[in-house]
Structure 1
Amino acid sequence: MAVSPDHHAAPIGPTPKQSSEHGPNTISARGKMVAHLPYNVVLSMTLVSGLISASFATISDCDEVFNYWEPTHYLSHGYGLQTWEYSPRYAIRSWLYAGLHSLLIWPFSALMGLDKAHEFLLLRGILATVASIAQTELYGALSARVHPDVGLYSVLISMPSAGMYQAMPAFLPSSFAMSFVMLGTSAFLKTTASPVKALVLFSIAGLFGWPFSLALVIPQLLLWCLEMAERYSMVWVLRTLLRSSGGPFAVLTLITIVDSLAYRKLVFVPFNIVLYNVFGGEGRGPDLYGTEPWWYYLANLSLNFNIMLVAALCSGPLVLAGLGYWPGPTFRTYIAVTAQFYIWILIFSLQPHKEERFMYPAYPGLCLNAAVSLYMVKSFLSQVFEKISSSKSVRRLADISVFAAIFGAALISVLRIAAVTSGYSAPIDIYNGHHNLTGNVCYGKEWYRFPSSFLLPQNARPRFIKSAFAGLLPGSFTERNSPFRDGTWEIPENMNDLNQEDYTKYIPIEECDYLVDSYFEGKDESSLEPNYILDTEHWDLISCREFLDASKTPFPNRIIWLPRMVIDDKRVWAKYCILRKRS
């Protein structure tokens, strides 16, 4: 937001004279808005929720494993699975991104002897910690520059939400972009005349993380330009932007240099990502991996944010309705901070290929928009209750109503988290305590739930056997007894960007020492997908966990966990197991 070069900007929101909308500690003696909770308290709260998610959240997308966990494992331990995206022929994944995460865990593995399973948890914890700090920064910026209620509501909505629970520890560029979009938005809200810090943070989100997240800088940047042009001149704005471009250019240069060294050719990975996803050409592009209807994200967001999705969608109309109440710069600020969510959901709802992780950068915007809606509803209710009675207890009904809505949404989210965690944790949990796996650990129909080589011992290798799946599976990076990772620049054989099946990615079942498989009762077996768990003549069970059979579990029991005293537990369970070949 715009300020003079020598002074902080004035608070945004209703003026201090509107005392009915402020608690006793909202306005300081200097007329500045004060956050409801201290920074360190909010940071502690977000850290606790983030570390819980790092410990227990499931991995919901195989792209997270194959495109990020596995290359990071390769850099750290010299072997791993390789997707076509890392072939120098296509180069649409950044080695700098994987390399940074490998460096984060290197001191703990190389110097402290941390085992791979704990490296996995450590890295998830680091990712969740960064997201927690970003949440807290956004809370502070919203409290100081928009309104303390908006800051408080936003963090109380995001902290227990099922969506943020899943996104915070995810090893994905969209999750990384989510954290730096929060930091960039916070920097814009706090900025003085120079936007360089905010632009660098957004460039990290877009160039280092996910290029499409650069769209989220538009509202904040336009607002800054408008306010600065009014305060100074458009020439001053253009000159300042030109001076500020050095930071984003440095980010771009670093990415280009590191990735070009890794691939051993000049590459610009962010451009390649956009080129493939938007201009892939006929027979190529993300649509090869499935398409969804336009309402897919609305359905998905309703599961992850329940009633707060409705509040978020209502923020735009409520802001427009409050045009006379928040005139001038304040109204423009509300437009800017609420526009991010609308921009994102519009862009990605128009794309045929849709995935839950694509919404991660917009999750903070959803929570912010919902907070704005709640704040406006509370302001309206406060005025209504004031007219009804001057009693303090009656005036507090507005606060009670808002916090009841936040508590209700949080409770639903926690129950949603409990349902997902209890139902789908088996693909990670089966490896707990089983560190004696050796040789080839094979995956057939469960290939897409493989949780990464970090959970396998050093002398075990993930392999694939043929199943009913007929697309392209990852291959393996070439293993060499060398500190250099030549797989970053060597062109692998039999890779394509058309999702065409390659039979060299499979090994015969006879070469498998272990097999990870599932058994869903009543599901017909086939020659490609026999029920190995029932084949006790050839396989021994060494580790099994329950896994939710979603196809047989009623919808209410599937989407939310409730105690049996509230609803009959009609969940149907499958088996998810590690099998050992009988000698």
Structure 2
Amino acid sequence: MPSRGQVPLAAAAAQKLDSVAISKKCPIIPYHVVLTAIFSVGLISAAFATIPDCDEVFNYWEPTHYLSYGDGLQTWEYSPAYAIRSWLYVGLHSLVTLPFSLVPNFDKSHIFLILRTILAGIVSVSQAELYNALSRSISPEVGLLFILISVPSAGMFQATPTYLPSSFAMSFVTFGIAEFLKTPVSISRALTYFSVAGFLGWPFCLALVIPQLLLWGHNDGRARGIISMVQHTVCSIWPPLIVLAITIGIDSLAYRKLVFVPLNIVLYNVFGGSERGPDLYGTEPWWYYIANLSLNFNIVAMAAFASILVVVISSFILPTGVTRQQFVLLLPFYLWLVIFSLQPHKEERFMFPAYPALCINAAMSMSWVKGFVLFVGSRLKIQPKAATFWGTSLVAGLLVISALISTSRTIAITIAYSAPKKIYRSDQNIYGNVCFGKEWYRFPSSYFLPLGARPRFIKSAFTGLLPGAFAETNAPFRDGTWIVPENMNDLNQEDYSKYTPIDECDYLVDSYFSGREEQAGPLEPNYILDTENWSRVTCHRFLDAAKTPFLSRALWLPSLVYRDQRVWGEYCILKRKRRTKT
């Protein structure tokens, strides 16, 4: 049995057998190849990923549609009375799509896809930058593991093309982390990335900069002295202050009053009081994110959760130990998980900014697991080449299993819940009022409706506050950004003025699940079965989640491996045959 002093020799021998790229701390795979691979997956997600959150549609796609076309749905958050949504954020996305919206008869659903593709491109570049930084600052192996973990994951597939501030923040947090890993660190550039993520995207993500900023301050203070470090920091905050000034300026111009939207978001969500705040929209148990991340990242989520334990063991066992930078890299994921697990109101999208941090933690865990195998091999007098083979095989096996599970989940979700987007076709001559009852929260946005159609709501069993409509205008500057709409509130109290009588509906979007006829009350009849008044325009199958076993709805498995137990319903656009009598 070799002594403690012999362990570094075994580790050095094993490292000799690694690639030359690792020893030189250069990325194993060229940057452009990695970027191409990430963006290819991003294109697929832009085309096929579902829209699981109505907040994305009503708070971002609809205001963007309003800026581009002069009509759209408006939530209370955009009322100047509350002003907790940024017109700068929406306006930048609207500018990107402006050239296409000016083209006559250009299919709006294509603009939807174009914007999603651009968002996927930004995420792809940020991931490639972080891959490059991890490879050069930590190790090429960790950089490669990061990409092999993040690219096939079901969580990243969903988050990549999503039009939400949390997804936008995810991209710029990733840029910021990558900047902190570079040598020398450009603190000004790093803080600018995080300020864009926080002020323009989601203010809570500024918490993710704390560990890296403290490490930089420690290192810079030791190298320059405390006074020079403070001076350096002060000189570096000008770009973030410019971002802040632009955010306040543009949003204040849009609302026609002085507003600081990020502060309003924090005040509402944290200090809203017992009568208002995010808890009005539902609460979840403390373990919600553990379960959700386990579904979206499976094995690698477990590796991320265990990374702090692995680092403790590594610091005592591995001869190379754990550097301060490696330890600090683990902290943002735990910090974010703890903060949001303590909040009663939980949603999957709240985890998006921490997805890259999760992938970093998992990559470092797996790298250390391989180190454990080399350590055990050296103690058992196993040849370094053989130990390296078994360590690499173990990690590769876990990655393959994880990728297969993630791919299975992505396929399952896409097949099961794509009907709300697929029922709209460019060859449909839809016009007038397109109404939504119990399916109001699955409306994919006005980008899927022709110019002559308007989304409307009919009364259903839902008793919360639905969006209203922006004041339509043909003026270049939309008055709806500053006009205070009527009958809005921040208490989620129902407003009956938001409803359209059903006899004014030209089309109706509805779903039907066999066997639930007795559950259909007077407010939610099965319109699809009412063939006397409604005819089918387009229908697609839609998963009946209530009747489908958990495994069958969570994962897709080939019929040769697993008996298909999915139960399907119908999701349709209906056209009125005749007016109902009043």
The 2-side partners of 1:327 and 1:68 are apart by 51
The 1-side partners of 2:12 and 2:360 are apart by 23
Partners of 2:14 and 2:385 within 8 A in 1: no
Partner of 2:533: 538
Q: Does 1:47 align with 2:39?
A: yes
Q: Does 1:400 align with 2:384?
A: no
The 2-side partners of 1:81 and 1:126 are apart by 23
Partner of 1:560: 555
Question: Which letter maps to 2:72?
Answer: G
Q: Which among 2, 20, 30 is matched to residue 14 of structure 2?
A: 20
Cα distance change, pair 391–310 in 1 and its aligned pair in 2 (3 A): closer
Q: Which among 145, 159, 168 is matched to residue 137 of structure 2?
A: 145
1:144 alignment partner, SS class:
helix
Partner of 1:390: 383
The 2-side partners of 1:543 and 1:15 are apart by 69
Partner of 1:219: 211
* TM-score, normalised by the number of residues in structure 1: 0.95
Q: Does 1:484 align with 2:487?
A: no
Q: Which among 544, 547, 558 is matched to residue 549 of structure 1?
A: 544
Cα distance change, pair 391–179 in 1 and its aligned pair in 2 (3 A): closer
Question: Which letter maps to 2:485?
Answer: P
The 1-side partners of 2:298 and 2:339 are apart by 22
Cα distance change, pair 329–209 in 1 and its aligned pair in 2 (3 A): farther
Coordinate RMSD, CA, aligned: 1.8
How far is the alpha carbon of 1:330 from its aligned partner?
5.6
The 1-side partners of 2:312 and 2:48 are apart by 41
Partner of 2:62: 70
Partner of 2:5: none
Question: Which letter maps to 1:59?
Answer: I
The 1-side partners of 2:207 and 2:320 are apart by 25
How far is the alpha carbon of 1:218 from its aligned partner?
0.4
Partner of 2:499: 506
Partner of 1:250: 242
Cα distance change, pair 194–56 in 1 and its aligned pair in 2 (3 A): closer
The 2-side partners of 1:443 and 1:556 are apart by 30
1:540 alignment partner, SS class:
strand
How far is the alpha carbon of 1:18 from its aligned partner?
2.8
How far is the alpha carbon of 1:34 from its aligned partner?
1.1
Cα distance change, pair 19–459 in 1 and its aligned pair in 2 (3 A): farther
How far is the alpha carbon of 1:110 from its aligned partner?
2.0
Q: Does 1:353 align with 2:309?
A: no
Partner of 1:444: 437
How far is the alpha carbon of 1:384 from its aligned partner?
2.5
Partners of 2:301 and 2:362 within 8 A in 1: yes
Cα distance change, pair 190–112 in 1 and its aligned pair in 2 (3 A): farther
How far is the alpha carbon of 1:287 from its aligned partner?
0.2
Larger mean CA deviation between 189-198 and 490-499 belongs to 189-198
Deviations 1:220-241 (A, max 9, x none): 0000001111112111111111
Q: Unpaired runs of 5+ in structure 1?
A: 1-13
1:372 alignment partner, SS class:
helix
1:411 alignment partner, SS class:
helix
Partners of 1:319 and 1:331 within 8 A in 2: no
Partner of 1:10: none
Question: Which letter maps to 2:300?
Answer: M
Q: Which among 267, 274, 293 is matched to residue 275 of structure 1?
A: 267
The 2-side partners of 1:154 and 1:252 are apart by 32
Q: Does 1:412 align with 2:405?
A: yes
Name the count of aligned residue pairs: 567
Q: Does 1:203 align with 2:198?
A: no
1:396 alignment partner, SS class:
helix
The 1-side partners of 2:9 and 2:337 are apart by 32
Q: Does 1:468 align with 2:461?
A: yes
Larger mean CA deviation between 190-199 and 247-256 belongs to 190-199
Deviations 1:320-370 (A, max 9, x none): 222256899962111111101000000000000000000001111111100
Cα distance change, pair 27–61 in 1 and its aligned pair in 2 (3 A): closer
Q: Which among 404, 407, 419 is matched to residue 426 of structure 1?
A: 419
How far is the alpha carbon of 1:541 from its aligned partner?
0.4
The 2-side partners of 1:380 and 1:26 are apart by 22
Deviations 1:398-444 (A, max 9, x none): 11110110111000000000110000000001103443110000000
The 2-side partners of 1:27 and 1:564 are apart by 42
The 2-side partners of 1:191 and 1:65 are apart by 41
Q: Does 1:576 align with 2:571?
A: yes
The 1-side partners of 2:272 and 2:528 are apart by 41
How far is the alpha carbon of 1:193 from its aligned partner?
5.2
Deviations 1:198-247 (A, max 9, x none): 00000001111000000000010000001111112111111111000101
The 2-side partners of 1:399 and 1:319 are apart by 19
Question: Which letter maps to 1:91?
Answer: A
Partners of 1:105 and 1:123 within 8 A in 2: yes
Partner of 2:181: 189
How far is the alpha carbon of 1:111 from its aligned partner?
5.1
Partner of 1:98: 90
Deviations 1:501-522 (A, max 9, x none): 0000001000000000000112
Question: Which letter maps to 2:483?
Answer: E
1:18 alignment partner, SS class:
helix
2:323 alignment partner, SS class:
helix
Cα distance change, pair 134–497 in 1 and its aligned pair in 2 (3 A): same
Question: Which letter maps to 2:14?
Answer: S
Question: Which letter maps to 1:539?
Answer: W
Within a 5 Å distance, the mapping from 1:109-120 to structure 2 comes to 109-110=101-102, 114-120=106-112
The 1-side partners of 2:254 and 2:387 are apart by 65
Q: Unpaired runs of 5+ in structure 2?
A: 1-7
Within a 5 Å distance, the mapping from 1:509-528 to structure 2 comes to 509-523=502-516, 524-528=519-523
Cα distance change, pair 550–390 in 1 and its aligned pair in 2 (3 A): same
Larger mean CA deviation between 184-193 and 200-209 belongs to 184-193
Within a 5 Å distance, the mapping from 1:150-189 to structure 2 comes to 150-189=142-181
Partners of 1:21 and 1:382 within 8 A in 2: no
Percent identity reads 59
Question: Which letter maps to 1:83?
Answer: T
Question: Which letter maps to 2:460?
Answer: S
The 1-side partners of 2:339 and 2:527 are apart by 44
How far is the alpha carbon of 1:182 from its aligned partner?
0.4
Deviations 1:26-67 (A, max 9, x none): 346xxx411111000100110011110000000000000000
Partners of 2:22 and 2:141 within 8 A in 1: no
The 2-side partners of 1:211 and 1:434 are apart by 42
